[in-house]
Amino acid sequence: MVTGNTLKLRRRWRWIIGLLFSLQTTLASADFIVSHREPSGDTDTRDQYTIALIRLALEKTKAAYGAYEMRPIPASYYKLRARLATSSNQYPNILLEESYDDELVTKSKLDFIPFPIDLGILGYRVCFVSPQRKADVARITSIEELKKFRLGQGIGWQDAKILKHNGFNVIEVEAYESLFKMVAAGRIDLFCTGANQASAELQAHQTLTQLSIDNAFTLVYKLPRFFFLHPDNQLLKRRITTGLTLAYNDGSMQQLWQENFGPGLRQIHLPERTVFYLANPFIAHLDRGYEQYLFSPLNPP
């Protein structure tokens, strides 16, 4: 005979099982959240391609991994603060784009996806030049002459470390937008940025009438840029790795790359410039497998 207590117990177990099933269903149908940086201001164009690439990788894996949601972390999170947020896993599935550095991997204890997200183009640097130094820079014939000028770079940038290692006079600045104002005002002589970024940045800063791009030279060094993430987020790593590989193999990544960078690269005429190659000692322990994906218009050694 079934007692009243037995019936109550059965009802309670059915309620618990139903709750667990409901919770499981909710979790299974929930979007896969991916956190990312967003541009630091209306004129900052650097993250547009990166955000589009994350979305492309997630779309390529939607059938296998399910729905997703992309969420920007606060715009106030500059490079160093965003790195700390990634190290502490402060937001769900943070993807942080960073130039590779042996020290970053060993000290920050971050994991990374060894696929060059910009196909290596950021290692080709062209420079904004101050009005006062424009003519002098145009006449240089050696890298030693170039080292006499003051170069502005952002705090925490891998480029600053590489330039210092190669003997350049580097002034580091926290706010990215300040670099454009400083070079236009002559407070620094040069501000070197990615060859893929320069034309878009010049367009975005039209109000700085003294701002111009040097046409004489290009700095080239290996600057592989990867997605970094917290080691606990291995599902994120697998999904993004798969998505990037699929997008590269079917050509959709290269198409996105060309749409974002092709027009600007054609405007700066890389092959017509004097090329100075610099060493990057901070990738000594990096496996060179990533090099199979590099775009190499000037064939660096």
Same domain (yes/no): 35, 161: no
How many domains does the structure of the chain reveal?
2
Read off the CATH number of the domain in which 236 is found. 3.40.190.10
Within a domain: 300: no
Phi, psi of 36 (to 5 degrees): -150, 165
Instruction: State the first-to-last Cα distance of the chain, in angstroms, to the nearest integer.
Output: 86
pLDDT digits (tens, 9 = 90+) for 44-74: 566 889 999 999 999 999 999 999 999 999 8
pLDDT for the residue 105: 86
Same domain (yes/no): 109, 227: yes
Region 132-154: mean pLDDT is: 96
Domain enclosing residue 179, as ranges? 122-220
Nearest CA-CA partner of 95 in 41, 62, 56, 44: 56
Does the pLDDT value for residue 17 go beyond 50? Answer: no
User: 206 in helix, strand or coil?
Assistant: coil
The mean pLDDT value of the chain amounts to: 88
pTM of the model: 0.83
Domain boundary pick from 220, 243, 262 = 220
> Where does the pLDDT of residue 40 fall: very low under 50, low under 70, confident under 90, or very high at 90 and above?
low
Same domain (yes/no): 75, 203: no
User: 193 in helix, strand or coil?
Assistant: strand
Does the pLDDT value for residue 176 go beyond 60? Answer: yes
DSSP 277-292: E---GGGTTS-GGGGG
Instruction: Tell me what percent of the residues of the chain surpass a pLDDT of 70.
Output: 86
> Where does the pLDDT of residue 125 fall: very low under 50, low under 70, confident under 90, or very high at 90 and above?
very high
Same domain (yes/no): 71, 212: no
pLDDT for the residue 296: 72
Same domain (yes/no): 227, 116: yes
Same domain (yes/no): 37, 94: yes
**Rounded Cα–Cα distance for residues 35 and 25 (Å):** 23
10: part of which helix (H) or strand (E)? helix 4-29
Same domain (yes/no): 45, 168: no
Domain boundary pick from 194, 220, 246 = 220
Same domain (yes/no): 146, 206: yes
Within a domain: 89: yes
> Where does the pLDDT of residue 247 fall: very low under 50, low under 70, confident under 90, or very high at 90 and above?
very high
Domain boundary pick from 220, 235, 258 = 220
Does the pLDDT value for residue 26 go beyond 90? Answer: no
Within a domain: 22: no
Within a domain: 26: no
pLDDT for the residue 82: 86
Answer whether 152's CB lies under 8 Å from 183's CB: yes
Within a domain: 25: no
Same domain (yes/no): 158, 199: yes
pLDDT digits (tens, 9 = 90+) for 184-240: 999 999 999 999 999 999 999 999 999 999 999 999 999 999 999 999 999 999 999
Query: How do 190-194 and 150-154 pair as beta strands?
Result: parallel
Same domain (yes/no): 58, 206: no
**Rounded Cα–Cα distance for residues 146 and 217 (Å):** 10
Same domain (yes/no): 110, 185: no
Does the pLDDT value for residue 179 go beyond 70? Answer: yes
Answer whether 258's CB lies under 8 Å from 49's CB: no
Determine the length of the chain: 301
> Where does the pLDDT of residue 15 fall: very low under 50, low under 70, confident under 90, or very high at 90 and above?
very low
> Where does the pLDDT of residue 291 fall: very low under 50, low under 70, confident under 90, or very high at 90 and above?
very high
Same domain (yes/no): 197, 75: no
Phi, psi of 154 (to 5 degrees): -80, 150
